[in-house]
Amino acid sequence: MNTMIVFKYIFWVLYRIWFYILVALPIVILFPVLLISISKESWYPFFFKIARVWAKIILIGMGFRYSIKRDEIPQKDKSYMFIANHTSMADIMLMLVSVKNPFVFVGKKELAKIPLFGFFYKRTCILVDRSSAKSRQAVFLRAQRRLESGLSICIFPEGGVPEEHIDLDEFKDGAFRLAINHQIPIVPLTFADNKKRFSYTFFSGNPGRMRVKIHQFLSTKDLTTDDTKTINAKARDIILKQLEVFNP
């Protein structure tokens, strides 16, 4: 193993450690404020603003230069279903800086086990056990309450992080069924570079650009659950084609 490769592995280890420091440090510093912000469900928009600052600190601290292009801008005080491709631990942060409308993540319950981060994650997000039909059904009830309070929802519809050789996995129907049931627009986002910048492979990652495209919204007006597969395929096709444009 030559010297350059050794230095690469040392860099990757330190880069990962630095990421977790950036995730944890603002939470430790702002812990009392964060605790107050989650004490009432109606105060969630304030918590969301803090979360956006936290996300920016991490992305900038990691050396990620993000740029966001918008085909359409979400209206203030309107609910949406935000969806994006999922390849990186940085996807959460990039979604937070890309979208100003307060939204609630629907995410896997395993993330609640992460020290410190998990404490706030399980109190502010809608957790789902994808192996349990009962848990998946409960998501709809909790999401309905959030939507009725004027918030939006964010789901990564691949249902997990696909293997690295897969550009975009098949989408689950949950996000689209939920959007149709509540007649809210679906907002597809494409994250172009997250897999290169900071994938789930431990010995990988480096500073650089992160491009985001917020696409034209997909209306669910007058759609029924019979249209779920159709709009699912349409949303996936939009993101897949944009990935091909970003990375020909």
Q: What is the pLDDT along the chain (248 residues), one digit of tens a residue?
A: 588 889 999 999 999 999 999 999 999 999 999 999 999 989 999 999 999 999 999 999 999 999 999 999 999 989 999 999 999 989 999 999 999 999 999 987 777 787 888 888 888 898 887 666 676 677 888 888 899 899 999 999 998 888 888 899 999 998 999 999 999 999 999 999 999 999 999 999 999 999 999 999 999 999 999 999 999 999 999 999 999 999 87
Give 212's contacts (C-beta < 8 A, 6+ positions apart): 66, 67, 68, 69, 94, 98, 189, 190, 191, 192
The model's pTM is: 0.93
- pLDDT, one tens digit per residue, over 124-172 is 898 887 666 676 677 888 888 899 899 999 999 998 888 888 899 999 9
| CB 158, CB 173: distance < 8 Å | no
**Residue 177 to residues 27, 214, 226, 231: CA-CA distances in angstroms?**
34, 21, 9, 9
What b/e string do you get for 161-190 counting C-beta neighbours within 10 Å, with b at 16 or more? bbeeeeebbebbebbbbbbbbbebbbbbbb
Query: What integer pLDDT is reported at residue 247 of this predicted model?
Result: 86
Share of the chain above pLDDT 70, in %: 97
Among 197, 202, 233, smallest CA distance to 218 is for 233
By the 8 A CB rule, do 238 and 85 touch? Answer: no
